[in-house]
C-alpha cells in the first residue's frame, strides 16, 4: 500500500518506518526542512532502540522516503496517517487540535481519488467528526473515509509494540475502510495480535481511557507506598501480591516518582476536559491528576529529611533524568521539577544520563558528566531517578569518595537488607 505519514515526531517516525518494514511504500512528511534532510541522511532525531537501523535499511531498499512536499505525498498515497502533536491548551487543559485541523485542510485541497484518512495522533472524542466536516467541503465528496487508529507505543519498546502489539484498534463505520485497514495490519495480526474494530468515537476514547487507567495504577501504588513507609511494610511485596490477581495484573504497579512523559500527564487532563464537554464529572481521573501533581513535592520533602534539612552546598547526583529508561524524552519528567527545586535550596547538582546532556537542565550549579563514576565521586547524596539497566549493579563505595554518602533509590532497584549488610546509608520508596 502507498502510505503518507504526516508528522515525523515520535509516533509518525516509528509508525511510518514500521509500515515500510512490513512491505509498504511510505512517505513521511514534515514542514521542518532540517529534520527531513537529516532523516534522508539517516540521522534520527529521537532515541529509540533499533529505530536508526530500521530507518537506514528501509531508506536503502526504497520503501521509506522523507519529504517536505505534503501536497504531493497526499496525492500519491492511498492511506494518510495524521501523526501531528496534540499538546495541552494551558488555560483549559483541552487538547490543542490546531495542527490536526491544518493537516485536514491540506488533505481536503489535495483529494484526487479515494483515500482513507487515519488519525493516529491522540485526539479527543468527536475529532474524527470534525475532520470529516472539513473534508466535506471539497469537490470529491464521497471519495474518502475518516478512521481512528490510536497508537499504543511505549517509548523504549516502540518497535516491538508496533510489530507485536497487544491489540490493533480501528474505529470506523465504513466497511470498505475497515477491510483495507485489516489488510494493512495483516502481517501483524498473523502474529496473534488482536484486531479490534469499533466505532470511530469509541476508538478515540479507548486511547484516553487506557492511558488514564494506567496512570491510575501508577498513582495508586505510589499512594500505597506512602502507607507502606509509615506502617513498616515493603511495597514491592504488596505489589506482587496484588499483581497475582489476574483482574489487576502486575504491570504499572511499581512505586516511584510521579508519572511523566508525553502521554499520561497530557491525556489525563484532556480526558477531564472531554468530560466537561459532555457534562460528565470524571472525579477519579481528577483525583489521579491531583495526587500525581503532589508526588514530586512529597519526594522533595523526603530528600530534605534524608539530608537532615541541610541541602545548601551539598552535592547531589541524579542517575538518570528522563521520565523512563529506553528513551531520551524529558517531557514531564519529575527531574525537571526536582532539580531546579534543589538548586534553589543551594544544592550543587550533578547528573549522568545514558542518552546524553539535556538542554532542559542548562543552569548554574547543574553539571552533566559523561560517566557514572565522575558524576558520583563527590556526591553527598546519590539519587537513582530512572531505572536504566546500568544502574542496577553499582558498587557505590567505589564510585564515590565521600565517606558518609547516602543513596536514595526512587526505583527500588536494590535490596534493603543487602544495602544494610554493606553498611550503605540507603533509602527507598515504600519500604
Residue 139's pLDDT is what? Answer: 67
Nearest residue to 400 via CA among 421, 417, 425:
425
> Cell numbers at residue 266, please?
497530557
Write phi, then psi, for 94 (nearest 5 degrees): -80, 155
Count Cβ atoms below 10 Å from residue 229 Cβ, excluding itself: 18
The class that CATH gives domain 2-198 is alpha beta
Residue 190's pLDDT is what? Answer: 83
Tens digit of each residue's pLDDT (9 = 90 or more) over 262-320:
999 999 999 999 999 999 999 999 999 999 999 999 999 999 999 999 999 999 999 99
Q: How far apart are CA 220 and CA 214, in angstroms?
A: 10
Q: How far apart are CA 86 and CA 101, in angstroms?
A: 11
**Domain topology for 208-284:** 1.10.1040
Give me the helix-helix angle, 10-21 and 51-60, nearest 10°: 50
Count Cβ atoms below 10 Å from residue 219 Cβ, excluding itself: 23
Whether the Cβ atoms of residue 246 and residue 318 lie closer than 8 Å to each other:
no
Residue 146's pLDDT is what? Answer: 97
Q: Spell out the residues 6+ positions from residue 79 whose beta carbon is closer than 8 angstroms to its own.
A: 1, 2, 3, 4, 115, 116, 118, 180, 184
Tens digit of each residue's pLDDT (9 = 90 or more) over 340-376:
999 999 999 999 999 999 999 998 899 999 999 999 9
Residue 193's pLDDT is what? Answer: 81
What SS3 string covers 290-330? HHHHHHHHHHHHHHHHHCCCCCCCCEEEEECCCCCCCCCCC
Count Cβ atoms below 10 Å from residue 349 Cβ, excluding itself: 24
Whether the Cβ atoms of residue 211 and residue 267 lie closer than 8 Å to each other:
yes
Tell me, yes or no, if 263 is annotated catalytic.
yes
Count Cβ atoms below 10 Å from residue 342 Cβ, excluding itself: 24
Q: If phi over 0 gives left and psi between -120 and 50 gives alpha, with beta otherwise, what is residue 394?
A: beta
Q: Which of 18, 83, 263, 376 is catalytic?
A: 263
Whether the Cβ atoms of residue 11 and residue 121 lie closer than 8 Å to each other:
yes
Q: How far apart are CA 69 and CA 81, in angstroms?
A: 15
Count Cβ atoms below 10 Å from residue 270 Cβ, excluding itself: 25
Q: Report pTM.
A: 0.93
Q: How far apart are CA 119 and CA 112, in angstroms?
A: 19
> Cell numbers at residue 227, please?
502507607
For the chain, give every residue range classified as CATH 3.40.50.720: 2-198, 292-427
Query: 484498534: which residue's cell?
Result: 169
Q: For the chain, how far is it from start to end, CA to CA, in angstroms?
A: 53
- R_g (Cα) of the chain, nearest Å: 24
Whether the Cβ atoms of residue 401 and residue 419 lie closer than 8 Å to each other:
no
Residue 191's pLDDT is what? Answer: 77
Q: How far is CA 306 from the centre of its chain?
A: 30
Could you please report the per-residue DSSP string of 360-396? GG-STTEEE-SSHHHHHTT-SEEEE-S--GGGTT--H
Low-confidence ranges of the chain (pLDDT < 70): 139-142
Write phi, then psi, for 412 (nearest 5 degrees): 55, 45
Q: How far is CA 233 from the centre of its chain?
A: 31
For the chain, give every residue range classified as CATH 1.10.1040.10: 208-284
**Domain topology for 292-427:** Rossmann fold (3.40.50)
Amino acid at each position: 500500500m502507498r502510505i503518507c505519514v504526516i508528522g515525523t515526531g515520535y509516533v509518525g517516525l516509528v509508525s511510518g518506518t514500521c509500515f515500510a518494514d512490513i512491505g509498504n511504500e511510505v512517505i513521511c512528511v514534515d514542514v521542518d526542512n532540517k529534520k527531513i534532510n537529516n532523516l534522508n541522511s539517516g540521522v534520527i532525531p529521537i532515541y529509540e532502540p533499533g529505530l536508526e537501523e530500521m530507518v537506514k535499511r528501509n531508506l536503502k531498499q526504497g520503501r521509506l522516503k522523507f519529504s517536505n512536499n505534503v501536497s504531493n505525498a497526499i496525492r500519491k498515497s492511498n492511506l494518510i496517517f495524521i501523526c501531528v502533536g496534540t499538546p495541552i491548551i494551558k488555560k483549559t487543559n483541552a487538547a490543542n487540535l490546531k495542527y490536526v485541523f491544518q493537516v485536514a485542510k491540506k488533505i481536503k485541497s489535495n483529494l484526487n481519488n479515494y483515500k482513507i484518512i487515519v488519525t493516529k495522533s491522540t485526539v479527543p472524542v468527536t475529532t474524527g467528526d470534525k475532520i470529516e466536516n472539513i473534508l466535506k467541503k471539497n469537490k470529491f465528496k464521497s471519495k474518502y473515509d475518516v478512521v481512528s487508529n490510536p497508537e499504543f507505543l511505549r517509548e523504549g519498546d516502540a518497535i516491538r509494540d508496533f510489530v507485536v502489539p497487544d491489540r490493533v484498534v480501528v474505529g470506523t463505520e465504513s466497511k470498505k475502510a475497515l477491510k483495507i485497514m485489516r489488510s494493512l495490519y495483516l502481517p501483524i495480526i498473523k502474529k496473534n495480535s488482536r484486531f479490534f474494530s469499533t466505532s470511530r468515537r469509541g476508538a478515540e476514547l479507548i486511547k484516553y481511557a487506557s492511558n488514564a487507567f494506567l496512570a491510575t495504577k501508577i498513582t495508586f501504588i505510589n499512594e500505597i507506598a506512602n502507607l507502606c513507609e509509615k506502617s513498616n511494610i515493603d511495597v514491592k511485596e504488596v505489589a506482587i501480591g496484588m499483581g497475582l490477581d489476574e483482574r489487576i495484573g502486575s504491570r504499572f504497579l511499581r512505586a516511584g516518582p510521579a508519572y511523566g512523559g508525553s502521554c499520561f500527564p497530557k491525556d489525563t487532563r484532556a480526558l477531564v476536559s472531554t468530560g466537561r464537554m459532555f457534562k460528565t464529572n470524571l472525579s477519579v481521573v481528577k483525583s489521579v491528576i491531583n495526587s500525581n501533581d503532589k508526588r514530586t513535592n512529597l519526594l522533595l520533602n523526603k530528600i530534605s529529611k534524608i539530608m537532615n534539612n541541610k541541602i545548601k552546598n551539598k552535592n547531589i547526583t541524579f542517575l538518570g533524568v528522563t521520565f523512563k529508561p529506553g528513551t531520551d524524552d524529558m517531557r514531564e519528567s519529575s527531574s525537571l521539577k526536582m532539580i531546579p527545586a534543589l538548586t534553589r535550596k543551594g544544592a550543587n547538582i550533578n547528573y549522568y544520563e545514558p542518552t546524553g546532556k539535556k538542554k532542559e537542565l542548562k543552569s548554574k550549579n547543574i553539571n552533566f558528566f559523561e560517566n557514572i563514576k565522575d558524576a558520583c565521586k563527590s556526591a553527598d547524596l546519590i539519587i537513582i531517578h530512572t531505572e536504566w539497566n546500568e544502574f542496577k549493579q553499582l558498587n557505590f563505595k567505589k564510585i564515590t569518595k565521600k565517606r558518609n554518602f547516602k543513596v536514595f533509590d526512587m526505583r527500588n532497584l536494590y535490596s534493603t537488607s543487602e544495602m544494610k549488610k554493606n553498611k550503605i546509608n540507603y533509602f527507598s520508596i515504600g519500604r
